[in-house]
Structure formats: structure tokens, C-alpha cells
């Protein structure tokens, strides 16, 4: 089979790496790809948002399956265009992708189908929003409505911070078109987890739960990013909690989409807070998480290509049960200094050849080739993954890699998984 993967980040490199393990893969193309994918796939000079160009390429090259990594092409309707041309694609259509492209739509959807989430109010102007936050109980969460690369969520602890966040959206246009509307919602407390599930529109199958670290700085401080690290499985999720997530969130989400006549084939990602009142949805994504994918897929034993084909063909119910490796995988993001704000690129990356060891892998995100060298080209540059029997040893392997890999201005969090590790230490004493 010939497969086209749309995107250029660490998630897409992980998909390439995993799909390459299938015996049925003939060739993998990436559009546009990155510097780390070139050995396993052919990178083509088409941007992820070039919907018609990608559809033309898939037609000319007789691509058997296209897999969409990032959210933007889904929000633009790439799945609609491909299915109109009878091209197989893994990813939801534009109407369904509103679960991610509009937080107002997602919250109203959850409200309609009684999917547990935080109470919220939506606003389309600064005056009403500021008037509202005068009388709320803090902390609250201010969210830009549209796509903001994971950075449009602001937890505010007082009125002045709330005003500043609202002004950032409406007045200073910090998030551009994504900030035409905002949501202000109660701040949920508890452990945050990521649950990704595969669906063909009729059947929904969850993957192993993972935990992401959004804040830029250690101790979960600083601005939100696209994600600074993740581990899988999120060991504090019991089978009983997963049953609740299935019954109160995943299945009602699919049922709601079906009831609204909104076909959904691909991945539904639910960011969930485990509150004292049970699991509640923080947000939906309509694609694989990043960096969660870098921690989840290494544990998958099943053939990912076969699973994705079943999703695209509406035959997920007939697939064997997913098989998983025992143990834990942990991914640490090596980023450019200044991310998620301003940063420089074009810095040479060294030490990659010395980073190869059992149970470890380096997924490229913001890299490109400059002749025979690899240089930085983004904020999140590399995702270093370690896999072992437990979280502590998996993180040990992952954290060995930044000691060998170097580039100017490299920064990374040194406390991925800290809350779980602290709890495990307390349980042992």
C-alpha cells in the first residue's frame, strides 16, 4: 500500500515510524514532512493546508490511504475534498472537526448531549466578557474559540489577570482569527489525562490513556505550549475510571455526532480532568495528540495500518482487539529557547548518531535538512522517547538522550511525570 501522511511534526514522524513496521506498506509520502522523516518516507513540497494540491497528488500517485496529522487541514475540509473524489482518508469531515476548531461549538455540543464538562459562558466582545468576570469565583479559564496551536487557554487567578487575558484576545488580537469569540469557564481541579479513541463513525475503541504536560516550565508553570512531554499509560487511571470515561464521554460523544448526522472517521481526542465528581471533558481534538502520540504508539503491538484502514472503510467493529506492550513509554520535548514565544531557528543539531540505544527513539518535530546537516526549524524541535518497565525507568532512558543531543538554545522540562512519581514515592514510604 501507498500511504500519504499530512503534516510535519513529531506526531507525524511517529506515525511514519509506526506505519513503517507494517508488512503491507509499499511506500510512505509525507507532506511536507521534516528532516527526520526522509529515511523512512519521501517528503513532498506540499503544505498541510494545500487541500486541493494534496488531493491532486493522492489521485496522481494512486495513494491508497491518506492520514491527516494536524488540525488545520481537517478544519479546512480536507476529508470532505478527498471523500468527494472517492479517495480514502483517515480523519473527520469539516463539520465534525468543529469539535476542535470551535470551542463554543464543542461546549454547546457537550451541553446538548449531557457530556460532563465545566460550566461556561461564551462571549463575542470584550465589554461583556469583562463585565462577567467581575462577579465570578476564581480561578477561571479563558479560552479562545478557534485553533491556537494549543496556546489559546489561559488560567487566571484574579480579576486583573482575567481582564489582561480578555484584552489579549479581543484588543491585542494575540490569537488572530481564533479570538473572535471566547469561552470563560470554571477551572476544574484534579489529574488531567488524554484519552484518544479510534472511530469509524459506528464503533469507538479507546487507546491507552496518557498524560501531557502543557506548561512551558517545570512544576506546571508558565505559558501553555503545544506540549512539553507525555507518558503512557497514565497509571492512576483504573479500569473503573476508564469504564466511566467510556460510558459518560466517549460513547455519548459518538452517539451525539451520529444523532446530528455528522459522520466521524478518525481519532477523537478527549482532554479529561479527573475531578472528585468524576471525569469531565476539558477539550476535544479531532486528531492524534502531540506529544501524546509519541508515548502511546510505541506501546501498540497491533498493525496500525490495518486499524486505520478499518476506520477509513467503516469496518472497525470487525477488527481484533488492540494488543499492547507491557511497560511505559515517556516522551520529553527538546525545544528552542523562548518557545512558545519568540525563538530563533537554523541551529545545527549534533549527537543524533550517538543517541541510538535499545528502548529509545528520537522523533523529529521542528527540523529540516541543510545539506548533510540537520538544523532546527521550529519551537518544538525533537521528542526523545524512552520505553521500559515503569515510568521512572522509561524517563531515565528518555532523559539520557538530551545529554547526547545538542543544539544552540535547547531547553526542556526535567520533571515530566513528576506528580505520579511523587505519589508513587509516598506510597512506598
* Long-range contacts of 218-221, Cβ-Cβ distance < 8 Å, separation of 24 or more: 218/413, 218/414, 218/415, 218/418, 219/415, 219/418
Please report whether residue 304 resides in a domain: yes
Is the domain of 52 the same as that of 162? no
Is position 166 within any domain? yes
Tally of domains within the chain: 4
Does 363 lie in the same domain as 417?
Answer: yes
Residues 6+ apart with CB under 8 A from 342: none
pLDDT in tens, 318-347: 899 999 999 999 999 999 999 999 999 999
For residues 204 and 269, give the distance between their C-alpha atoms in angstroms, rounded to a whole number.
12
What is the pLDDT, as a whole number, of residue 342?
Answer: 95
Give all strands of the β-sheet with 65-68 in edge-to-edge order: 42-43, 27-32, 2-7, 65-68, 89-90
Structural domain that includes position 59: 2-94
* CATH number assigned to the domain comprising residue 375: 3.90.600.10
Strand partners, 382: 334, 364
This model's pTM is above 0.85: yes
Q: How many other CB atoms sit within 10 Å of the CB of residue 329? A: 28
Q: Is residue 133 part of a domain?
A: yes
Enter the C-alpha cell of residue 302: 497491533
Same domain, 348 and 274: no
Question: 125-184: per-residue pLDDT in tens?
Answer: 999 999 999 999 999 999 999 988 777 889 999 999 999 999 999 998 988 888 899 999
* pLDDT tens profile 189-247: 999 999 999 999 999 999 999 999 999 999 999 998 999 999 999 978 999 999 999 99
Pick from 214, 212, 215: nearest CA to 234: 212
Amino acid at each position: 500500500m501507498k500511504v500519504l501522511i499530512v503534516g510535519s511534526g513529531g506526531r507525524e514522524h511517529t506515525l511514519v515510524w509506526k506505519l513503517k513496521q507494517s508488512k503491507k506498506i509499499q511506500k510512505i509520502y509525507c507532506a511536507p514532512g521534516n528532516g527526520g522523516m526522509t529515511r523512512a518516507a519521501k517528503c513532498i513540497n506540499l503544505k498541510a493546508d494545500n487541500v486541493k494540491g494534496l488531493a491532486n497528488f493522492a489521485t496522481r500517485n494512486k495513494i491508497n490511504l491518506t492520514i491527516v496529522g494536524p488540525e488545520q487541514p481537517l478544519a479546512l475540509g480536507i476529508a470532505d475534498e478527498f471523500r468527494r473524489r472517492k479517495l480514502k482518508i483517515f480523519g473527520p469531515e469539516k463539520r465534525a472537526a468543529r469539535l476542535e476548531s470551535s470551542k463554543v461549538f464543542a461546549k454547546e455540543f457537550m451541553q446538548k448531549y449531557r457530556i460532563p464538562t465545566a460550566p461556561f459562558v461564551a462571549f463575542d466582545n470584550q465589554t461583556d466578557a469583562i463585565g462577567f468576570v467581575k462577579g465570578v469565583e476564581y480561578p477561571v479559564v479563558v479560552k479562545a474559540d478557534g485553533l491556537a496551536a494549543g496556546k489559546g487557554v489561559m488560567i487566571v487567578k484574579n480579576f486583573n489577570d482575567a481582564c489582561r487575558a480578555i484584552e489579549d484576545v479581543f484588543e491585542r488580537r494575540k490569537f488572530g482569527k481564533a479570538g473572535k469569540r471566547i469561552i470563560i469557564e470554571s477551572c476544574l481541579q484534579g489529574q488531567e489525562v488524554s484519552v484518544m479513541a479510534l472511530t469509524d463513525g459506528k464503533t469507538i475503541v479507546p487507546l491507552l490513556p496518557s498524560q501531557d504536560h502543557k506548561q512551558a516550565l517545570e512544576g506546571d508553570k508558565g505559558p501553555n505550549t503545544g506540549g512539553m512531554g507525555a507518558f503512557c499509560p497514565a497509571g492512576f487511571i483504573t479500569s473503573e475510571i476508564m469504564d466511566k470515561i467510556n460510558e459518560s464521554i466517549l460513547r455519548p460523544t459518538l452517539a451525539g455526532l451520529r444523532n446530528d448526522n455528522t459522520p466521524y472517521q478518525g481519532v477523537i481526542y478527549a482532554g479529561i480532568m479527573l475531578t472528585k465528581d468524576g471525569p469531565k471533558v476539558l477539550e476535544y481534538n479531532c486528531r492524534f495528540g502531540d506529544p501524546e502520540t509519541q508515548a502511546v504508539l510505541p506501546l501498540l503491538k497491533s498493525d496500525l495500518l490495518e486499524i486505520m484502514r478499518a476506520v477509513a472503510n467503516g469496518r472497525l467493529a470487525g477488527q481484533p482487539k488492540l494488543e499492547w506492550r507491557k511497560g511505559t513509554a515517556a516522551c520529553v520535548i527538546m525545544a528552542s529557547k523562548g518557545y512558545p514565544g519568540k525563538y530563533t531557528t537554523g541551529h545545527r543539531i549534533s549527537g543524533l548518531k550517538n543517541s541510538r540505544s535499545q528502548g529509545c527513539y528520537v522523533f523529529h518535530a521542528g527540523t529540516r535538512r541543510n545539506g548533510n546537516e540537520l538544523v532546527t526549524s521550529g519551537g518544538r524541535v525533537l521528542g526523545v522517547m524512552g520505553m521500559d518497565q515503569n515510568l521512572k525507568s522509561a524517563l531515565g532512558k528518555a532523559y539520557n538522550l538530551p545529554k547526547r543531543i545538542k543544539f544552540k538554545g535547547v531547553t526542556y522540562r526535567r520533571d515530566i511525570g513528576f506528580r505520579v512519581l511523587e505519589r508513587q514515592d509516598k506510597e512506598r514510604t
